[in-house]
Amino acid sequence: MSATPPGTARLRVESATIGYDKRIISEHLSVAIPDESFTVVVGPNACGKSTLLRSLSRLRKPSAGQVVLDGADINSYKTKEVARRVGLLPQTSIAPDGITVADLVARGRYPHQGFIRQWTGDDEQAVLRAMRQTSVADLSGRLVDELSGGQRQRVWVAMALAQHTDIMLLDEPTTFLDITHQIELMELFTDLHHAGHTLVAVLHDLNHAARYGTHLIAMKDGAVVAEGSPDEVVTAELVEEVFGLRCLVVPDPVAGSPQVVPLGRERTPRRSADKVDVESARNG
Amino acid sequence: MPRPRRRLLGLLVVLVVLAVLLMLSVMIGSTAIAPSVVWDALFHSSADTDQFAIRDFRLPRTVVGLVVGAALGLSGALIQALTRNPLADPGVLGVHAGASFAVTVAVGLLGVRDVQGYMWFAFAGALIVTLLVLAFGSTRQGSSPVVMVLAGVCVGAVLGGFREALQLTDPDAFDAMRNWNAGSIAGRPLEVVWPVLPFFAVALVLAFVVSGPLNALALGDELAVAQGVRLVRTRVLAVIALTLLAGGATAIAGPIGFVGLMVPHVARWIVGPDQRWIFAYSALLAPSLLLVSDILGRVVTRPGEIPVGIVTAFVGAPVLVALVRRKKSSGL
Amino acid sequence: MNTHIPPVDFGRRMLVLRRRRIAVRLQWRSVVVCAVLAVVIAGAAVLALMTGSYALGPGQVLAALTGRETGIVHDIVVEWRLPRVAAALMFGAALGVSGAVFQSLLRNPLADPGIVGFSQGSYTGALIVILVVNGSYAQLVGGALLGGMVTAVAVYVLAYRRGVQGFRLIIVGIGVSAMLGSLNTWLILKADLDQAMSAAAWGVGSLNGVSWNQVAIGGACIAGLLLLAGVLGRPMRQLELGDDAAASQGVRVSPARLGLILVGVALTATVTAASGPIAFISLVAPQIGRRLTRTAGITLAPAAFVGALLCLVSDYLAQHIAPTPLPVGIITVILGGGYLGYLLFTEARRRL
């Protein structure tokens, strides 16, 4: 759990109002990202979780309040300085035609480069390390267009890693991947977390959030409804409150983390062993 | 209002508007002529100068406007149905470039100098180039709207280059072409119209034949086939019809843009998605638009005139911009 | 140097230069292609200096260029033919880079300042000055620039709807261009024949009668702008990854994009001011450059070299292919339109 008191976290939002044009998404939003946590933001569609991530990465400036990075307003830094501390894996990125894996990963070095210093030994090492960590080193010379979806997403993660930031923001990193690749990627994030990175991810899958996250933030209608450890946040009551979904929360038989099982409409479970739990959940 | 009644009532309104515009087109000009004189000119001819102006200038001009407009409108409706592309316009697809190029060749290299002479070159050029662009812009899955527009642009650019080269080395050709290129229904004797009418008649029949299958085609190639539409036959017939119409219209009047683009939209807006009704409405609305534009061109810089092709571009371009700004069509 | 680091496999041969504060990574293929292009350009330039009503040998040309010839040969080469060749090279390079900037920004191989209406707009401006105001050369330049800029801004604004989407921009550009084209037709129609013909020749883009004066002024502007483009080239490369990715890597997206658009339009504007709108080089050069070097995305240097070569060769053809010299723009339109067609066939249809 977070050992960081909210007021001292390296990255936090302080009573910010965030929105697009005239549409306000969040008002007086305060969120602290515990240092060295794997924070996962969950919530229904359009609850403001991506917007929160965008303001944490300075892509969206709050119209009131501020985002604080290392004790100062994030907008008071030079853009490249922010980019050396906070990295982002955007929801949609575009690979230029005919780019190779190594070339794409190398583009992540931008904030560390200058007009005449474009490829130092540090750059080279950072790119190699990022590719090894994400197991795309073997694909190094391949064209990104030719890769599978899972491989491609790992390349994008490698690019964000090459940026060499302590804090990494991940906007729905597993969307559009099949289940194997989702798990692979989540485990990769766990490894990165263990290697000392602070991660903030927006995820749709509550079970992934509960299994891999160390700190969960549940949002609804632009406000934080609950935050804390997966055990504290993922409860049947909260899931119903946030998502409007009636469900049963059981321990994940493998990891022991809370797992959400939707009740749905089906009356009779196919296996009688589970019946007791479901019945009691419906009644209680 | 229920759609069938709305369609019939609308048709009546459109016909009345067209009749009024035909009348106005004959009356309005450098000198305004009273309706009674128009009546006399038509039915009790005498040697009056006003009657002369009507019989020899305004009446042919109005008839040309009617025929050319109907052809442009119908060809626009056809091409939009065929390509499922609300931005398709025969002008964009190389009809103008082809006709213009052929006429330049006729003027510059072969020394042809009168409107009747241009006509056949324009017709042939338009037919060949439109077919070229359609072939060029079609993919195996059908035709991608944007590719087709761009194919038209690039064929137009290449032909335009050759045309400019001819024109800039030959002042006579330049002079003749700057008139023709503006697109006008003025100064065309009725003798220019008659030879094209048989082609239009054929095209009209073809349009009628394919209107049903095109309705099915609107749902996508696969569904259309499932409903028993013969894809290739429908496409080929529609292409022949629209090329004859647009080519013929351009042969008579020179390049007039945007009429074929705008009118089917208005028609769709009134009658809904049924192609048969869209065709009928387009064929009636387009001459109205052309005549209004022509009358405007006569009035705005009186006693000078702005050729109708320039007026339609000024009315049409904003409509095109509005169309792509609308969400639906910008998803192209 | 740095042999202890296992080199990253980029799938392509790389040339890494590191000396003190300089650390640059280039693609071998790009370097070789640019060098070859430079040699070909030099050869074409000598050929252009040799050819004309007074034919010269390569030896005479080189001698004249190095100051070892005097008299008529010197005058022909240095005073008459060289400005034109220099203009073709510089303007071509400028157009190539301008197109590269637009294509990279819009992530679209069909984008160029001409397609967003700049050319038609500048033609309209020039026509109004020539035919209506009957203004001086300076006014013509001013009118053309104003017309082009206003049109480009108008197209951009009209296509803007929660951001500018590539195809919407192109279609709006086509619409606005068609409207202005109509206006131009009408202006030409109203003018007397001689004026109309000279205006039309300007409108196609021509290097006829380019003077050292124009070359010097235009060249200075272009050199400055190319340098700016070079500096902005790095943010431009990051922008190709998408706005969010670029921003998170420390690119200031809006200023960078605005700067790039301004540089791109200014490059085209400079060329237009000196020679009229020369079409299609800006469209074609970046794509040819990309295919030759096989780089990822659009790169500026190959586009500049290809643009310069294309413009020089087109002007050579325009001068010598027909009995009377043609404007260079006619050749570029024909070559460029044909290439655009090829592009549609191969790429656009696959992607759309």
Please, what are the averages of pLDDT over each run of 10 residues along chain A (284 residues)? 69 88 84 94 89 90 91 92 93 85 92 86 90 90 89 92 93 87 92 93 93 94 92 92 90 91 73 56 58
Give the mean pLDDT of chain C: 86
Of A87, A120, A123, the CB nearest to C248: A87
Whether residue A93 contacts residue A59, with contact meaning beta carbons closer than 8 Å, is answered with: no
Q: What is the pLDDT of residues C192-242, one digit of tens each?
A: 888 888 888 888 888 887 888 889 988 999 999 999 999 999 999 999 998
Contacts C234 to A, Cβ<8 Å: 110, 113, 115, 118
Inside any domain, residue C320: yes
B156: closest chain C residue by CA: C337
Contacts B153 to C, Cβ<8 Å: 174, 340
Looking at residue C348, what is its pLDDT? 54
d(CA A32, CA A14): 8
Within 10 angstroms of residue A245's Cβ, the number of other Cβ atoms is: 15
> At what angle are helices B145-168 and C166-190 packed, to 10 degrees?
30
Would you give the distance in Å from CA C97 to the centre of its chain? Answer: 6
Q: What is the token pair recorded at A129? A: 């390390």
Inside any domain, residue B195: yes
DSSP bridge partners of A64: A17
Contacts B165 to C, Cβ<8 Å: 322, 326, 330
Strands A11-20 and A64-69: antiparallel
CB contact under 8 A, A90 and C244: yes
A78: closest chain C residue by CA: C250
Looking at residue A60, what is its pLDDT? 86
d(CA C224, CA C219): 9
C347: closest chain A residue by CA: A97
Q: What is the token pair recorded at B215? A: 């309705």
Q: Which helix (H) or strand (E) holds A28?
A: strand A23-33
Tell me which residue of B77, B94, B234 sits closest to B160, measured CA to CA: B94
Position C4 pLDDT exceeds 60? no
Q: What mean pLDDT is predicted for residues B184-211?
A: 90
DSSP bridge partners of A11: A33, A69
Would you give the distance in Å from CA A126 to the centre of its chain? Answer: 22
Question: With touching defined as 3+ CB pairs under 8 A, do chains A and B touch?
Answer: no
Whether residue B118 contacts residue B181, with contact meaning beta carbons closer than 8 Å, is answered with: no
> For residue B272, what pLDDT band results from cuts at 50, 70 and 90?
confident
Residues near A5 by Cβ (< 8 Å), separated by ≥ 6? none
CATH topology of domain A6-283: Rossmann fold (3.40.50)
Contacts C299 to A, Cβ<8 Å: none
d(CA C35, CA C293): 11
Q: Give the length of chain B.
A: 332
B181: closest chain C residue by CA: C185
Per-residue b/e over C129-157, b at no fewer than 16 CB within 10 Å? bbbeeebeeebbbbbbbbbbbbbbebbbe
Q: What is the token pair recorded at C35? A: 């060098």
Tell me which residue of C90, C48, C81 sits closest to C273, measured CA to CA: C90
CATH number of the domain enclosing B133: 1.10.3470.10
> For residue B330, what pLDDT band results from cuts at 50, 70 and 90?
very low
**Residues spanned by the domain of B255:** 3-26+34-40+47-324
CB contact under 8 A, A124 and C8: yes
Q: Which residue has the higher pLDDT, B173 or B146?
A: B173
Q: Which residue has the higher pLDDT, A22 or C311?
A: C311
Q: What is the pLDDT of residues B127-150, one digit of tens each?
A: 888 888 877 766 655 555 566 667
- Separation in Å, CA of C109 to nearest CA in chain A: 11
Contacts C242 to A, Cβ<8 Å: 90, 92-94
d(CA B314, CA B298): 15
Whether residue A181 contacts residue A150, with contact meaning beta carbons closer than 8 Å, is answered with: yes
Q: What is the token pair recorded at C295? A: 């780089």
How many helices and strands, by DSSP H and E, does chain C display? 15, 2
**Extended strands (E) in chain C:** 14-19, 22-27
**Extended strands (E) in chain B:** 138-139, 142-143
CB contact under 8 A, A140 and C6: no
CATH number of the domain enclosing C318: 1.10.3470.10
Q: Which residue has the higher pLDDT, A15 or C163?
A: A15
Residue to substitute from B84, B155, B167, B178, interface C, most C β-carbons within 10 A: B178
Rg (CA), chain C: 21
Looking at residue A281, what is its pLDDT? 61
Position B332 pLDDT exceeds 60? no
Structurally, chain C folds into a number of domains equal to 1
Contacts C296 to A, Cβ<8 Å: 96-100, 103-104
Tell me which residue of C14, C40, C78 sits closest to C302, measured CA to CA: C40
- Separation in Å, CA of C259 to nearest CA in chain A: 17
> At what angle are helices B145-168 and B115-137 packed, to 10 degrees?
140
Cβ neighbourhood burial of A123 (10 Å; 0-12, 13-18, 19+): buried
HSE, CB side, 13 Å, CA atoms: give it for residue C86.
22
d(CA B180, CA B255): 8
Q: What mean pLDDT is predicted for residues C323-328?
A: 85
Looking at residue C2, what is its pLDDT? 46
d(CA C107, CA C101): 10
Q: What is the pLDDT of residues B51-80, one digit of tens each?
A: 777 777 888 899 999 999 999 999 999 988
Looking at residue B56, what is its pLDDT? 76
Q: What is the token pair recorded at A279? A: 């019945």
Structurally, chain B folds into a number of domains equal to 1
Distance (Å) of CA A9 to CA A31, A35, A60, A69: 10, 6, 20, 8
Give the mean pLDDT of chain B: 83
- Separation in Å, CA of C69 to nearest CA in chain B: 36
Phi, psi dihedral angles at A138 (to 5 degrees): -70, -20
- Separation in Å, CA of C128 to nearest CA in chain A: 40
Looking at residue A1, what is its pLDDT? 45
CB contact under 8 A, B178 and C158: no
Of B92, B182, B320, the CB nearest to C186: B182
pLDDT above 70 coverage of chain B, percent: 93
Q: What mean pLDDT is predicted for residues B212-233?
A: 83
B323: closest chain C residue by CA: C172
Residues near B185 by Cβ (< 8 Å), separated by ≥ 6? B61, B64, B65, B68, B252, B253, B290, B294, B308
Inside any domain, residue C305: yes
d(CA C173, CA C166): 11
Q: Taking the model in full, what pTM does it have?
A: 0.82
Of B139, B162, B317, the CB nearest to C175: B317
Distance (Å) of CA A45 to CA A48, A156, A244: 8, 24, 12
- Separation in Å, CA of C93 to nearest CA in chain B: 22
- Please report where in the chains the tokens 């008839």 appear, as a residue: B63
Looking at residue A105, what is its pLDDT? 94
Inside any domain, residue C8: no
Inside any domain, residue B204: yes
Positive or negative: CA dihedral B141, B144, B147, B148: positive
- Dihedral angle, C-alpha A160, A162, A166, A169, nearest 10 °: 0
Looking at residue A130, what is its pLDDT? 92
Whether residue A136 contacts residue A114, with contact meaning beta carbons closer than 8 Å, is answered with: no
Tell me which residue of C305, C334, C285, C343 sits closest to C32, measured CA to CA: C305
Q: Write out residues 257-316 of B within 8 Å (CB-CB) of C.
A: 257-258, 306-307, 309-310, 313-314, 316
d(CA B88, CA B68): 18
- Separation in Å, CA of C198 to nearest CA in chain B: 9
- Name the neighbours of C, counting chains with at least 3 Cβ pairs within 8 A: A, B
Q: What is the pLDDT of residues B10-40, one digit of tens each?
A: 889 999 999 999 988 888 876 777 777 777 7
- Name the neighbours of B, counting chains with at least 3 Cβ pairs within 8 A: C
Enumerate the domain spans of chain A. Answer: 6-283
Q: What mean pLDDT is predicted for residues C164-177?
A: 76
Looking at residue B1, what is its pLDDT? 57
CB contact under 8 A, B158 and C172: no
Distance (Å) of CA B98 to CA B132, B133, B324: 10, 10, 26
**Any C CB within 8 A of B167 CB:** yes
d(CA A163, CA B86): 45
**Residues spanned by the domain of C316:** 37-63+78-351
Q: Which residue has the higher pLDDT, A156 or B266?
A: A156
Name the least confident of B288-297, C13-22, C214-223. C13-22
